[in-house]
Amino acid sequence: MKVATWNVNSLPVRLPQVLEWIAQRNPDILCLQETKVINDRFPQEEFLKAGFHTLFHGQPTYNGVAIVSRIPLSEPRFGFPGWDDSECRLIAASAHNLRIINVYVPNGQELGSAKYQYKLDWLSHLSQLLKEEREDHPRVILTGDFNIAPEDRDAWDPALAGQIFLSPEERTALNEMMDGHFDDAFRLFHPENGHYSWWDYRQGMFRRNMGLRIDLILTSQTLRPVLKDAGIDRHIRKNERPSDHAPVWVDLS
């Protein structure tokens, strides 16, 4: 059983590539970010034809998250309880015995900015929500675009450490969320340097493999015995008119 995440940077533009990738990789659950499509225009039918249920949370122009799944989805959640975040960045649902939480963490722009503060506040709300979700659900998969490179080995240039996406505050927020509860599934299988999930469109960054690993699949430690494999489908970034992110997946028995 495969669970995957992909920031598609516009689902209307990327839908053909998403359907093609689904046919190749055959995920059971796919979490999408930056769908950039309102709910009325979500391409439900196309996913239904491919055998997937859909759950989506979108707004005009920006953000937007969705879960598409071969397994029926129940107990949906859209956004945070008790906090009216105006941006569509969190969607969750249960599938079999798994609790899937799909996030599009704010970018943060630059250290000290209002957007950076929003990112830290957002992570704080996520941490709080996660405690509740973990109490209710023993097997959680928290996945999505975190806009945080967890460690120095997750960045093409170690000199980026301390800057946005790699700052101590962002990493502390992520570590505190994970500590003792979650594994970074990809790293259990691939500990070495040079693996990224995002490359800037500009300056041939992909060609030069200058990227960041910011798209993560965090699995409850209770799932560790059933984790079989994990990967990043880097080749998808070579597509014509690609997303700037590649799909990331984990395989569980």
Partner DNA sequence: ATGGCTGTCAAAGACAGA
Q: By the criterion CB under 7 A, which residues form the site for DNA? A: 7, 9-10, 12-13, 34, 36, 60-62, 106-107, 109-110, 115, 145, 147, 165, 198, 200-203, 212, 214, 241, 244-245
Give the nearest distance from C-beta 178 to DNA in angstroms. 20
**Nearer Cβ to DNA, position 97 or 202?**
202
Give the nearest distance from C-beta 214 to DNA in angstroms. 6
Task: Name the one residue in this structure whose structure tokens are 């956004």.
Answer: 79
Cβ-proximal residues to 225 (8 Å cutoff; 6+ apart), any chain: none
Across the chain, the runs of DSSP E, i.e. the strands, are 2-7, 29-33, 53-57, 65-69, 74-78, 90-95, 98-104, 140-145, 182-184, 198-199, 211-212, 215-220, 227-232, 248-252
Give the nearest distance from C-beta 224 to DNA in angstroms. 28
**Nearer Cβ to DNA, position 38 or 188?**
38
CA distances from 31 to 173, 203, 247 (A): 22, 29, 10
Q: Which amino acid is at 164?
A: I
| 104 given a catalytic annotation | yes
- Tokens encoding 236: 């998808």
* 6 and 243 Cβ atoms separated by less than 8 Å: yes
Give the nearest distance from C-beta 210 to DNA in angstroms. 11
Of the residues 28, 116, 145, 196, which is catalytic? 145
Q: How far apart are the first and last CA of the chain?
A: 6
**Nearer Cβ to DNA, position 23 or 114?**
114
- Tokens encoding 1: 């059983």
Give the nearest distance from C-beta 71 to DNA in angstroms. 27
Return the number of other C-beta atoms located less than 10 Å from residue 187's C-beta.
Answer: 17
**Nearer Cβ to DNA, position 71 or 160?**
160
Of the residues 28, 104, 196, 251, which is catalytic? 104
| 183 given a catalytic annotation | no
**Nearer Cβ to DNA, position 241 or 253?**
241
Burial of 153: CB neighbours in 10 Å, binned 0-12, 13-18, 19+: middle
Percent of the chain as helix, strand, coil, to the nearest 5 = 35, 30, 40
Kindly list the catalytic residues. 104, 145
